[in-house]
Amino acid sequence: MEEQYVYKQVNSISFGMLSPKMIKKMASVKVVTPELYDKEGYPVDGGLMDTRMGVIDPGLKCKTCGSKLKECVGHFGYIELARPVIHIEFIPLIVNMLRFTCRECGKVLIPKPKADKLREDLNNAEKEIGLERRRRIVKEIITSLKTTNKCPHCKSRQHKIALEKPTTFIENDKRLSPIEIRARLEKISDEDCELFGLNPTVMRPEWSVMTIFPIPPVTMRPSITLESGERSEDDLTHKLGDIVRINQRLFENINAGAPEIIIEDLWDLLQYHITTFFDNNVAQLPPARHRSGQPLKTIAERIRSKEGRIRYNLAGKRTNFSARTVISPDPMLALNEVGVPSVIAMKLTIPERATTWNMEYLKKFVKKGPGEYPGANYIVRPDGKKKRITDETKEQLLEEIQPGYIVERHLMDGDIAIFNRQPSLHRMSMMCHKVRVLPGKTFRLNPSVCHPYNADFDGDEMNLHIPQTEEARVEAEMLMEVPTQLISPAYGLSVIGCIHDSTSGNYLLTKFLSFDREDAVEILISSGITDLSKLPNKKMFTGKEIFSVLLPDDFSFTGHSKGCKKGEGDKCPAGTHVVIENGKLVDGILDSATLGKGSGLLLREMHSKYGEKYTTQFIEKVSKLGINVLLKTGFTATLSDTDLPETAKEKIKGLLDKANDEIRELIDSYRSGLLESFPGKTLKETVELKIIEVLNRARNKTGSIVTEYCSKETNTISMINSGARGNMLNLAQMAACIGQQALRGKRIDSGFTDRTISAFQKNDLSAPAHGFIAGGFKQGTKPHEFFFAAMTGRDSLMDTALRTPKSGYLYRRLANAMQDLKVEYDSTVRDASKKIVQYSYGEDGIDVSRSTGGTIDVKKIIQEVIKG
Amino acid sequence: MTEKSEHVLVPKHTKLSEKDKKALLEKYTITLKEIPKILKSDPAIAHLGLQEGDVVKIFRKSHTSGESVYYRGVINA
């Protein structure tokens, strides 16, 4: 049969239930025996593997449609149930139907005028607002229904109907058999069905009690042939075997006139098997199991949950041409490169089509084969046939290859790849890099691109995808290569900048370092700077002069470095004003505020003036420069960085003693009842608050003493001041005082009766007894202090472990809710149905990715226009 | 009782004249369906006595642009 394509637009989809008639109509077999195969191993006619329901063995033909394996999608079969059985998924519907319709006349238990009104409401709602509203009203009707004792139509008495889960209905202590239930559902009129939200043409209520049971096609429950030649059947086939077998026994017993008890038992068993066929996770039922004891995976389990069809196969598909491994840093790589281990480069391939012009080039790969780099793994013939290159086939394939053939060659330097780290929270989480094949087994990346990926190297893994078509490669390169992602669309500043060593290196360089000509040239050359014409003709160079070599000649910039708190004010503290005039760093120290990610205004300026390519190279050069400066001078943090002079130590000791005295006084006044409570607080809470306040003050003061007295020339201080890593608090904690350990915003208060640890007196309110650690990390902690620190450490670990998934889900919901908002050409923000959300994007119409930190400096633009 | 619409935190709501309303709809080539909605009973516009189909103009303070103008269509219930 020739394939035909029919193009139609889907207008509507209707959902309904299968009627017994429909089941019979679509079935191609009546299954009569639970047997599967005969002695020769062929499927039995009328059995569960009947070839009329489709084929799963190669070579056999489907008896219904005549097509072979993979061509035939399969056909349903059916069995006639000896007694009707309730469908588990429709239990809630049946409950509602039975409770709110009359047991005698089958009408809804709503007086006629009201019922008519509701029906009209429903139809109006659908016409005016749509199906969604109709469904809501149906829901409202059902929840508003109350059990009535008397039918408003035929005045007959109604009884209470209880559902004994999962499938038994009880009316007045008497069990309702599925036959009776079906009879009652049959009585319900089409009009009344509508009130329950059913469309009676496709969903009659009585169809939820099955009399005919559909047997799904063989193709959706294929059996596996084990290595031993034994056949292993699908879970569904097992379940169906049970159903057919019990059904048969039920038939036989009924025909033989067996006692009612036996028949009921069998009937219940049939109900159980059919229920678990649909859902093997029903709360009150023991799940049906294999002989090995592992539960069967039936229909609901196939669809539901993370491992189900939707989340596993539809929402999350596996992808080819991808790789995942641990990442590690390599500052010598370009920003837009990714180091790929050669093992991976030999598995991932790029298809290249052979032409007369590249024939020799491609044959080179084929000659090397899959085992030697750079080789090729497969050859694809024009008819789509894929052939693996092996040592045996190599010679023949080399002969065969001609224009039109595709060679799947190994990944090589310069190929396009998409690099990604989960969670992919923003678009910078997936960026396009150029491949660089390297020895080793990890992906390598420039440490400066860690920030957009939020990656570090403590064991993080990342994914790599190789686009397979020209279009995909071009698209990835133009839209998502690293240089195109420099400016964050969230805040309009650079997301990529100098980090760690490159920051501290440039800080030291521009602050006070100077080099002789030899060293300066060495540093610059090894940082990839070859144009040294900007280096003045001198013997010694200041760091500022060396840095200026990187700057373009026409570049001018004024900004502030980290120490400047004023911001826009004209008077900055000495040395915190950065001035670049015509490509020369005149004044100022470069640190994380100018070169770093996020705040790096210098980078933003350079980006808008010279473009993304230039900025990328600039970042590469600057980071290398910083690192090379450190390589030349040496840079390390030592224990003596945390040394304090005796005077400072005494001062801190005095400070802490004073605080302890103050606390003692507070406790005394609390004990003697002289303390006055804060409004709305108990006396106890008041002392607590006052003690915490005293301790906090003491801690902060130790911090400022450390800042004041510590040696200013240490590398630790350089790192702090340049913004490369660490802060004053970290240093103060190392050198002087770790401070109060807080649990849930309070001092540590739990443990034994009236005390935290048994090392203290009961009801001791003093600082050390509630987790104040007076010493620093260098001095070490006392056992009880160590214990308190461990308590808070564990608490914060738990806190992050619990908070991450929560905030992740919060973000996911937000992103899903806003994903199809779009800025239209008239500058309005609209949703998918073109409804307006904002009349101007962000109320000011500014494209943040083209702004500087979300604002546009009009003054500056005017000045530039006047000048130029 | 204090008039709710005069509270400092409630932005100023005014009724849009028929002429302005037509101009607005034309400017964005939209119908009332695409405009953000506001309930007739909303405390901020209760004192204006508006009908379904009217459009209110709202002057809001904005972090990004100082003051911004927003339009919302009045609906019943």
Q: Is A537 helix (H, G, I), strand (E, B) or coil?
A: coil
Domain that holds residue B16: 4-75
**Which amino acid, residue A785?**
E
| A459 or A155: which leads in pLDDT | A459
Please state the rounded mean pLDDT for residues A126-155.
77
Q: In the A/B pair of chains, how many CB contacts fall below 8 A?
A: 37
**Tokens 């997936």 label which residue?**
A430
Structure tokens at B43: 């405390």
H helix or E strand, kind and range, residue A544: helix A543-548
Nearest chain A alpha carbon to B33: A835
Task: Give the distance from residue A139's alpha carbon to the nearest chain B alpha carbon, in angstroms.
Answer: 19
Contacts of A730 (CB under 8 A, 6+ apart): A720
The answer to whether the CB of A522 falls within 8 A of the CB of A624 is no
d(CA A505, CA A622): 9
List of chain B residues whose C-beta atoms are within 8 Å of the C-beta of residue A856: none
Q: What is the total count of domains within chain B?
A: 1
Going by pLDDT thresholds of 50, 70 and 90, the confidence category of residue A765 is: confident
Structure tokens at A116: 């008519």
**Which amino acid, residue A706?**
V
The answer to whether the CB of A403 falls within 8 A of the CB of A356 is yes
Structure tokens at A102: 């009359």
Per-residue pLDDT at A341 exceeds 70: yes
d(CA A165, CA A163): 6
d(CA A769, CA A785): 9
Task: Give the distance from residue A835's alpha carbon to the nearest chain B alpha carbon, in angstroms.
Answer: 4
The answer to whether the CB of A580 falls within 8 A of the CB of A551 is yes
Domain ranges of chain A: 31-74+216-304, 86-213, 322-485, 500-633, 640-781, 822-867
Out of A835, A837, A839, name the one closest to residue B71 (CB).
Answer: A839
**CATH number for the domain including B11?**
3.90.940.20
pLDDT of residue A289: 84
Going by pLDDT thresholds of 50, 70 and 90, the confidence category of residue A412 is: very high
Residue in A823, A826, A839 to test binding to B, most B beta-carbons within 10 Å: A839
| A500-633 has the same fold as A31-74+216-304 | no
Residue in A133, A830, A836 to test binding to B, most B beta-carbons within 10 Å: A836
Out of A836, A846, A854, name the one closest to residue B35 (CB).
Answer: A836
Residue A587 phi, psi dihedral angles, 5° rounding: -150, 155
Q: What is the pTM of this model?
A: 0.74
| Alpha-carbon distance values, A772 to A517, A665, A691, A703, A745 (Å) | 54, 17, 11, 15, 14
Task: Please report the DSSP string for A304-362 in residue order.
Answer: SSTTSIIIIIISS---SSEEEEEEEE-TTS-TTEEEEEHHHHTTSEEEEE--TTTHHHH
Q: Is A663 helix (H, G, I), strand (E, B) or coil?
A: helix
d(CA A810, CA A818): 13
Going by pLDDT thresholds of 50, 70 and 90, the confidence category of residue A465 is: very high
Structure tokens at A570: 């004209």
Superfamily of A500-633 according to CATH: RNA polymerase Rpb1, domain 3 (1.10.274.100)
Task: Give the distance from residue B28's alpha carbon to the nearest chain A alpha carbon, in angstroms.
Answer: 7
List of chain B residues whose C-beta atoms are within 8 Å of the C-beta of residue A843: 60, 62, 64-65, 68
Per-residue pLDDT at A134 exceeds 70: yes
Contact B62 A844 (CB under 8 A): yes
| Alpha-carbon distance values, A309 to A234, A238, A278 (Å) | 16, 20, 15
- CB of A842 less than 8 A from some CB of B: yes
Contact B28 A828 (CB under 8 A): yes
Contact B28 A837 (CB under 8 A): no
pLDDT of residue A812: 83
- CB of A129 less than 8 A from some CB of B: no
Task: Please report the DSSP string for A276-305 in residue order.
Answer: HHH-TT-TTSPPPB-TTSPBP--HHHHHSS
Going by pLDDT thresholds of 50, 70 and 90, the confidence category of residue A43 is: confident
The CATH label, of 3.40.1180.10, 2.30.30.60, 3.40.50.300, 2.40.40.20, for the domain at A322-485 is: 2.40.40.20
Give chain A's mean pLDDT: 87
Contact B69 A839 (CB under 8 A): yes
Nearest chain B alpha carbon to A842: B64
Contacts of A373 (CB under 8 A, 6+ apart): A342, A345, A346, A410, A437
Of chain A, the percentage scoring pLDDT greater than 70 comes to 98
The listed range with the strongest mean pLDDT (A335-339, A575-579, B40-44) is A335-339
Per-residue pLDDT at A154 exceeds 90: no
pLDDT of residue A696: 86
Structure tokens at B69: 């103008």
pLDDT of residue A565: 63
Lowest-pLDDT range, A112-121, A255-264, A296-305, A649-658?
Answer: A112-121
- CB of A830 less than 8 A from some CB of B: yes
Q: pLDDT per residue over A618-673, tens digit each?
A: 999 999 999 999 999 999 988 888 888 899 889 988 998 999 998 888 888 888 88
Contact B30 A846 (CB under 8 A): no
d(CA A428, CA A867): 36
pLDDT of residue A571: 60
Going by pLDDT thresholds of 50, 70 and 90, the confidence category of residue A575 is: low
Per-residue pLDDT at B2 exceeds 80: no
Task: Give the distance from residue B68's alpha carbon to the nearest chain A alpha carbon, in angstroms.
Answer: 6
Nearest CA to A644 out of A705, A700, A710 is that of A710
Contact B68 A843 (CB under 8 A): yes
Residue A389 phi, psi dihedral angles, 5° rounding: -85, 120
List of chain B residues whose C-beta atoms are within 8 Å of the C-beta of residue A828: 28
Residue A740 phi, psi dihedral angles, 5° rounding: -75, 130
Does the complex come out with an ipTM higher than 0.90? yes
B69 bridge partner residues? B59
Please state the rounded mean pLDDT for residues A160-183.
87
| A676 or A405: which leads in pLDDT | A405
Q: Report the alpha-carbon angle B70-B71-B76, nearest 5.
A: 140
Please state the rounded mean pLDDT for residues A413-439.
93
| B57 or A855: which leads in pLDDT | B57
Residue B61 phi, psi dihedral angles, 5° rounding: -80, 140
The answer to whether the CB of A847 falls within 8 A of the CB of A841 is yes
Residues in chain B whose Cβ is within 8 Å of chain A: 27-30, 33-36, 60, 62, 64-65, 68-71
The answer to whether the CB of A417 falls within 8 A of the CB of A369 is no
Lowest-pLDDT range, A91-95, A132-136, A196-200?
Answer: A132-136
- CB of A846 less than 8 A from some CB of B: yes
Top CATH class, A31-74+216-304 = few secondary structures
Going by pLDDT thresholds of 50, 70 and 90, the confidence category of residue A785 is: very high
Out of A836, A843, A846, name the one closest to residue B34 (CB).
Answer: A836
Contact A846 B33 (CB under 8 A): no
pLDDT of residue A271: 92
List of chain A residues whose C-beta atoms are within 8 Å of the C-beta of residue B34: 830, 834-836
pLDDT of residue A1: 54
Q: pLDDT per residue over B30-66, tens digit each?
A: 988 889 999 988 888 888 888 888 999 999 998 888 8
The answer to whether the CB of A37 falls within 8 A of the CB of A223 is no
Peptide bond preceding B43 in cis form (omega within 30 of 0): no
The CATH label, of 1.10.132.30, 2.30.30.40, 3.40.50.11390, 3.90.550.10, for the domain at A640-781 is: 1.10.132.30
Q: pLDDT per residue over A694-719, tens digit each?
A: 888 888 888 889 888 888 888 999 99
Going by pLDDT thresholds of 50, 70 and 90, the confidence category of residue A128 is: confident
